[in-house]
């Protein structure tokens, strides 16, 4: 039996938590990322009058990502354990995650430079390309993800996320050359033809439209015209609020200034400065030398690649794009009532170009099926910021699915080690304050101070008593993951997944971490699927009532009289592990105040 002992006196965290997440750095300290070799890239150069096709990107450079086959992610416990077993596999995963964390403005500029110089100087019609060297996803039957760029038009806005996205999506990016003058309505038609063609070939596969700024207007417009297609919209700082933007006064200025005056660059740099300042503020927790080095690196990148910025957004292109956004904003706003697609709005709190926070709240109220996530310390270019992980956000919001309706078991993607580390870090003060101690019983009846007695092979059902407010959950789940590579899938209250009505209930975003760690809504079907997949399942029969017990109800069970979960576990031959926690109920009393 596993038990959790809780003490009020702080002590150091168990040593097992720390060394597992120590990331090794390369000797050079430089990014291992290999820029895309554009000369060897085969882009689909098609006009807006034809249905775009996607062709694979070939990378002939050595080093960086190798040609090793990626591990297919499944929902079975055996597959999840295999994902974490083996030193070589683990080192490959850690190295790949570390590589992605190092991508920065420099990588964007390098690839944008190759894109412009090797693609006819920014000429040609809009086209789709795949940013991944293998040309597609590593999972079977993966959804299609179409990235619709913002004002830069390069299609490289997901450079920090493309490898992780490529494990669970087929990723296509729209490239709009700098000298292209395709109108917004023609871009809408181009994207619409693409999604209709893909929907015709795979009618049950959802199509994700990820757009930032201008691309968000494009995604909303396409969704409004195609309510019959299963679309999922993920929109970062939509330009539907352009009417209130401080960029408006720039348009008449750009119309009258001479071509020789590069007045467009300071405005571009001011938006980049928001990213640099945000990254600096978030890096203040680092040692001073690392903070200074990071800031110097980003500033050097921004000044070194001024010529690249000029090639991506020369004055006439910037004017064209701003005029396009000015027309795209009312076009999309006038069609919001027709958007039925599942939508996720990502709003930055420090967007210097658009009132994104206010606009996100407006869109949430306006759109039929919309959720919002706020990023208070982020700037306009959210996808470029250091601590933003798009894949983690998609997991946490429960937006990943393979069909029209989400299956919480088969559509689930297990957390990466960096995601588990973030969960551990977010609960570090709780661990320091309570000093949790894990005990378990071996097969011979010996009690040990570890989780060695927990069965490794599933299906396993953990049944326990819910302590006050459920504070034992975080240390128990993370410790099980870190020490034993056992992934506990919790059965949780439905309010953590769907906000059924307005009121004083906690915001659904508070439970994103639980969804990342694999919690599923309580239901007989989900319980059945988890056991049939040989998972380790965590169940509190007493539920919320037990977690919110009142004064005098310490350690009291509120279990149902008929425990149907026992029959279900017996049907699959699951091992039942009873567990309890001691100490948490003794630190506070829960009072309910009634008012007339």
Confidence of residue 292 (pLDDT cuts 50, 70, 90): very low
**Confidence at residue 66, expressed as pLDDT on a 0 to 100 scale:** 33
pLDDT bin (cut points 50, 70, 90) of residue 109 is: confident
Per-residue confidence band for 492, with pLDDT thresholds at 50, 70 and 90: confident
**Who wins on pLDDT, 100 or 235?**
235
Q: Specify the higher pLDDT residue, 296 or 583.
A: 583
Q: What is the CA radius of gyration of the chain?
A: 26
Q: Is the pLDDT higher at 235 or at 468? A: 235
Q: Of all residues in the chain, what percent carry a pLDDT higher than 90?
A: 36
Neighbours of 273 (CB within 10 A): 16
Cα(38)–Cα(35) distance, rounded to whole angstroms?
Answer: 9
Confidence check: pLDDT of 491 > 50: yes
In DSSP notation, 321-376 reads: HHHHHHHHHHHHHTTGGG--SEEEEEEETT-SSS-HHHHHHHHHHHSSSEEEEEET
Q: Which pLDDT value is given to residue 558? A: 65
CA dihedral 5, 10, 16, 22 (to 10 degrees): 150
> How far, in Å, CA of 347 to CA of 397, rounded?
14
> Nearest-CA neighbor of 243 among 344, 358, 368, 338?
358
What percentage of residues in the chain have a pLDDT greater than 70?
Answer: 64
Choose from 21-35, 162-176, 571-585 the range with maximum mean pLDDT: 162-176
pLDDT at 265: 43
**Residue 503 Ramachandran class (φ > 0 left, ψ -120 to 50 alpha, else beta):** left
Q: Where are the alpha helices (DSSP H) in 54-86?
A: 77-84
Question: Which domains can be identified in the chain, with CATH numbers?
Answer: 105-397 (3.40.50.1820), 417-594 (no CATH)
pLDDT at 451 over 80: yes
Q: Cα separation of 79 and 15, whole Å?
A: 27
Q: What is the DSSP letter of 104?
A: -
Q: Which of 80, 61, 161 is nearest to 460 (CA)?
A: 80
Q: What's the whole-number mean pLDDT along residues 178-190?
A: 94
More confident residue, 587 or 262: 587
- If we measure between CA atoms, which residue out of 419, 421, 402 comes closest to residue 411? 402
Which pLDDT score is estimated for 19? 29
Q: What is the DSSP letter of 495?
A: G
Q: Is the pLDDT of residue 590 over 70?
A: no
Identify the burial level of 192 via C-beta atoms within 10 angstroms of its C-beta, where 0-12 means exposed, 13-18 middle and 19 or more buried. Answer: middle
Tokens of 194: 């693409």
Q: How far is CA 466 from CA 8, 431, 492, 566, in A?
A: 19, 18, 12, 18
Give the C-alpha separation, 158 to 394, whole Å.
Answer: 14
Above 80 in pLDDT, residue 83?
no
Specify the higher pLDDT residue, 102 or 105: 105
563-581 average pLDDT score: 87
Question: Does residue 408 carry a pLDDT above 70?
Answer: yes
Least confident residue range of 186-195, 214-223, 372-381: 372-381
* Strands 2-5 and 575-582, sheet pairing: parallel
Check residue 417 and give left, alpha or beta (phi > 0: left; psi -120 to 50: alpha). Answer: alpha
Is 70 exceeded by the pLDDT of residue 257? no
- The pLDDT score that the predictor gives to residue 110 is 76
The 3-state DSSP class for residue 435 equals: coil
| 100: pLDDT strictly greater than 60 | no
- At residue 315, the pLDDT reads 79
Banded model confidence at residue 228, pLDDT cuts 50, 70, 90 = very high
Which pLDDT score is estimated for 284?
Answer: 45
Where does 63-186 show beta strands of DSSP type E? 127-129, 144-148, 170-175
Residue 83 or 349, more confident:
349
Examine the pLDDT at 481 and tell me if it is beyond 70: yes
**pLDDT attached to residue 14:** 30
* pLDDT recorded at residue 313: 75
Residue 86 has pLDDT above 60, yes or no: no
Q: And the tokens for 570?
A: 């017996």
Q: How confident is the model at residue 362 (pLDDT cuts 50, 70, 90)?
A: very high
Q: pLDDT-based confidence at 97, cuts 50/70/90? A: low
pLDDT at 51: 41
- Taking 50 as the threshold, does the pLDDT of residue 40 lie above it? no
Cα separation, 398 vs 586, whole angstroms: 35
* pLDDT-wise least confident of 33-47, 225-239, 322-336, 578-592: 33-47
**pLDDT, mean over the chain:** 74
CA–CA gap between residue 18 and residue 14 (Å, rounded):
8
Residue 482 clears pLDDT 70, i.e. is over it: yes
Which two three-digit tokens encode residue 409?
């078991």
* Pairing label, strands 207-212, 370-375: unpaired
Higher pLDDT, 154 or 502: 154
Q: What sections of 435-580 are H helices per DSSP?
A: 473-484, 512-516, 524-532, 543-547, 564-571
Tally the residues of the chain.
Answer: 596
**Model confidence pLDDT, tens digit, residues 524-559:** 999 999 999 999 999 888 766 666 666 766 666 666
Q: How far apart are CA 49 and CA 472, in angstroms?
A: 59
Write out 145-161 in H/E/C secondary structure. Answer: EEEECCCCCCCCCCCCC
User: Tens digit of pLDDT for each residue in 435-447?
Assistant: 888 899 998 999 9
Contact between 560 and 543 under an 8 Å Cβ cutoff? The reply is: no
CB 44 within 8 A of CB 53: yes
Sheet containing 536-539, strands listed edge to edge, beginning at the edge strand earlier in sequence: 447-448, 437-441, 2-5, 575-582, 460-464, 536-539, 488-492, 520-521
Q: How far apart are the first and last CA of the chain?
A: 46
Band of the pLDDT at 230, cuts 50, 70, 90?
very high
């Amino acid at each position: 039996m596993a038990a959790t002992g809780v003490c009020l006196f702080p002590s150091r965290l168990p040593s097992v938590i720390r060394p597992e997440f120590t990331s090794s750095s390369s000797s050079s300290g430089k990014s291992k990322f290999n820029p895309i070799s554009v000369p060897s890239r085969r882009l689909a150069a098609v006009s807006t009058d034809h249905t775009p096709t996607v062709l694979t990107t070939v990378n002939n450079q050595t080093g960086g990502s190798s040609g090793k086959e990626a591990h297919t992610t499944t929902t079975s416990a055996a597959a999840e354990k295999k994902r974490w077993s083996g030193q070589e596999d683990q080192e490959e995963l850690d190295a790949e995650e570390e590589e992605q964390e190092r991508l920065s403005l420099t990588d964007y500029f390098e690839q944008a430079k190759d894109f412009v110089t090797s693609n006819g100087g920014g000429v040609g019609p809009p086209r789709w390309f795949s940013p991944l060297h293998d040309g597609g996803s590593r999972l079977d039957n993966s959804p299609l993800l179409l990235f619709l760029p913002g004002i830069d038009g390069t299609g490289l806005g997901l450079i920090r996320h493309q490898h992780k996205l490529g494990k669970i999506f087929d990723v296509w990016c729209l490239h709009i050359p700098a000298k292209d003058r395709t109108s917004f309505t023609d871009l809408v038609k181009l994207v619409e033809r693409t999604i209709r063609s893909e929907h015709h070939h795979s009618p049950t596969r959802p199509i994700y439209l990820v757009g930032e700024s201008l691309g968000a207007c494009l995604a909303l417009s396409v969704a409004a015209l195609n309510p019959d297609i299963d679309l999922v919209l993920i929109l970062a700082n939509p330009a539907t609020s352009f009417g209130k933007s401080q960029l408006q006064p720039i348009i008449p200025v750009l119309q009258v200034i001479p071509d020789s005056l590069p007045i467009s660059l300071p405005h571009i740099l001011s938006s980049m400065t928001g990213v640099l300042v945000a990254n600096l503020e978030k890096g203040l927790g680092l040692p001073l030398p690392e903070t200074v080095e990071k800031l110097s690196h980003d500033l050097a990148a921004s000044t070194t690649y001024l010529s690249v910025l000029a090639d991506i957004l020369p004055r006439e292109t910037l004017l064209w794009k701003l005029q396009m956004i000015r027309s795209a904003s009312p076009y999309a706003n006038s069609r919001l009532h027709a958007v039925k697609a599942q939508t996720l709005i990502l709003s930055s709190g420090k967007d210097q170009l658009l009132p994104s926070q206010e606009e996100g709240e407006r869109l949430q109220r306006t759109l039929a099926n919309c959720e919002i996530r706020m990023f208070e310390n982020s700037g306009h270019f959210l996808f470029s910021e250091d601590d933003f992980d798009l894949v983690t956000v998609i997991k946490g919001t429960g937006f990943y699915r393979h069909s029209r309706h989400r299956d919480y078991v088969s559509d689930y993607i297990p957390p990466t080690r960096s995601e588990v580390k973030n969960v551990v870090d977010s609960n570090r003060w709780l661990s320091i304050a309570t000093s949790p101690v894990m005990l378990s019983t071996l097969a011979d009846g010996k009690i040990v101070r570890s989780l060695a007695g927990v069965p490794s092979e599933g299906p396993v059902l953990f049944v326990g008593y819910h302590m006050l407010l459920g504070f034992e959950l975080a240390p128990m789940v993370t410790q099980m993951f870190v020490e034993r590579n056992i992934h506990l899938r919790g059965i949780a209250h439905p309010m953590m997944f769907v906000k059924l009505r307005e009121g004083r209930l906690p915001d659904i975003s508070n439970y994103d971490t639980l969804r990342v760690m694999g919690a599923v809504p309580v239901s007989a079907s989900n319980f059945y699927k988890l056991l049939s997949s040989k998972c380790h399942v965590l169940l509190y029969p007493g539920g919320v009532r037990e977690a919110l017990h009142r004064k005098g109800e310490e350690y009291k069970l509120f279990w149902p009289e008929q425990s149907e979960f026992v029959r279900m576990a017996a049907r699959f031959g699951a091992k039942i592990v009873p567990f309890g926690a001691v100490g948490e109920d003794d630190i506070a009393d829960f009072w309910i105040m009634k008012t007339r």
